[in-house]
Amino acid sequence: MDEKIAPQLEELTRALGDLEKTGIRTEFDKLLAYRVPPELAKESILRKFGGKRKILKVKDLSASLKNIEITGRILDLGEKAIRPQEGVQESPSRLYTGVLADETGSVMFSSWKELPGSIGDVLNIRNAYTRLWQNRIRLSIGEQSLVSIVPNSSIPPLSELSESPAKKLIDIGAADFSVSTVACVLQLSHREVLVRGKQSKVISGVLADETSRLPFTAWVELPGIDIGSLIRVEGAQIRMFRGMPSINLVSSTRVSLVGPEEAEKLAFTFESAAKEPALLKIEEIASRDSMFDVATAGNVVSVRPGSGIITRCPECSRVVQKGNCRVHGKVEGIRDMRIKAVLDDGTGAMFVMFPRELAETIYGKTLEEAEQLMFSDISKDAVYEDLRRFLTGRYLAVRGNASQGEYGISFVAESSWVPEDDLAVRAVELLQRLGQDEEDSGFEGGINLA
């Protein structure tokens, strides 16, 4: 070993383990080949692969994690050839994909190197990372990841992990691939969609139990099932869209009606599940990755830029900036109106998007009337400034779907109202608080009795 780089290699080995097995030595040598000083090369390697390794369970995975360690059983494993781009002379690469599971859930993985195991084996994976792929968390195993078989593991056997776990709707999330549940059908509709050039019938709707509601899609017939039906679903697939899980009923899914005797033992009925959702605190919504069809209320503390009149692409509905769509280029945009606001109830805050129909109702002006204001004021910000003056501080209730994003909770409102009944309750609570404050400070009617 070159004495000039021996100290750096020893330090890397202590921090990162066997450099040869992980491929880190190759990375180090590449940096030296580019005439990077050994000390700088070592620091670069430590920044890239170092840091305290996080040992996680599947349920703890989130997007953009680095240098994690996880142990799980292989539920599925496959490989496919990835052909090089045109003009590249290298032979095709191979990508290994599958599903890894522990007692907390399952996660898809991809690896650019062959794994030392097969379906049913338990793997310990170190120096892995995560990313988002098709709105789901994916575990990525790179060339520098260290993968080994765990011969004696406490992780449940393959037969148990392969079963679709029975879950309440509120517990279904991104870590689930196949689940079973019992719920009632709140909404049901039929439509035709174009799939691979052919018209296919699809059923969509909403399922509910005593804990939550979730949308569902059925690609198969559901004979005898209608709105109000109590059903048992076994082996349904979970799909994610914008952070929200949905239940997919496919050909392998078993759907059956719940019998009268079993229905009496359930914690919900169609009538109880169909009730309007109770108002939740924002902190409760923030504690979940996503929530479907929930309601909350708070004060509008900010109307954000981008509110008011906007222009959308006629092809993809994206917002057009200076006459250009980022996908379709120069387009003749279509006028639209929206409100982007921050709602705060004292327990937390969230970003709320109001589409045109709601924006017109809340604002009290139609799109056409808002355009007249903009043209008469000769300012593109006239509507935005008017919205700020009109909405800031107002108390609103909203109902819609919430999901966690990079900047907190994003809430897409489907309805909104001023909770008049709640106003009286809030006024009484405020008066009681003011009265208590006066008693505590020794005042009554504004006169110091001391």
Question: Which pLDDT tens digit goes with each residue over 186-229?
Answer: 999 998 887 767 788 899 999 999 999 999 999 889 999 999 99
Claim to verify: residue 258 and residue 155 sit in the same structural domain: no
Asked whether 38 and 4 are in contact (CB, 8 A), the reply is yes
SS (H, E, C) 389-415: HHHCCCEEEEEEEEEEECCEEEEEEEE
* Residue 431 falls inside a structural domain: no
| Whole-number Å distance between alpha carbons of 73 and 150 | 9
**Tokens at 283, concatenated:** 């902190």
Claim to verify: residue 27 and residue 112 sit in the same structural domain: no
Output the average pLDDT for the chain.
Answer: 86
Claim to verify: residue 319 and residue 298 sit in the same structural domain: yes
Claim to verify: residue 184 and residue 311 sit in the same structural domain: no
| Whole-number Å distance between alpha carbons of 207 and 185 | 5
Claim to verify: residue 249 and residue 351 sit in the same structural domain: no
Q: What is the pLDDT of residue 314?
A: 92
Query: What pTM value is reported for the model?
Result: 0.68
What residue numbers bound the domain in which 244 lies? 173-273
Residue 152 pLDDT grade (very low, low, confident, very high; cuts 50, 70, 90): confident
> Which pLDDT tens digit goes with each residue over 353-412?
999 999 999 999 999 999 999 888 767 789 999 999 999 999 999 999 998 877 788 999
Give the CATH number for residue 224: 2.40.50.140
* Residue 427 falls inside a structural domain: no
Average pLDDT over residues 130-154: 86
Longest CA span, the chain: 93
**Cα-based distances in Å from 338 to 20, 27, 128:** 56, 50, 41
* Residue 444 falls inside a structural domain: no
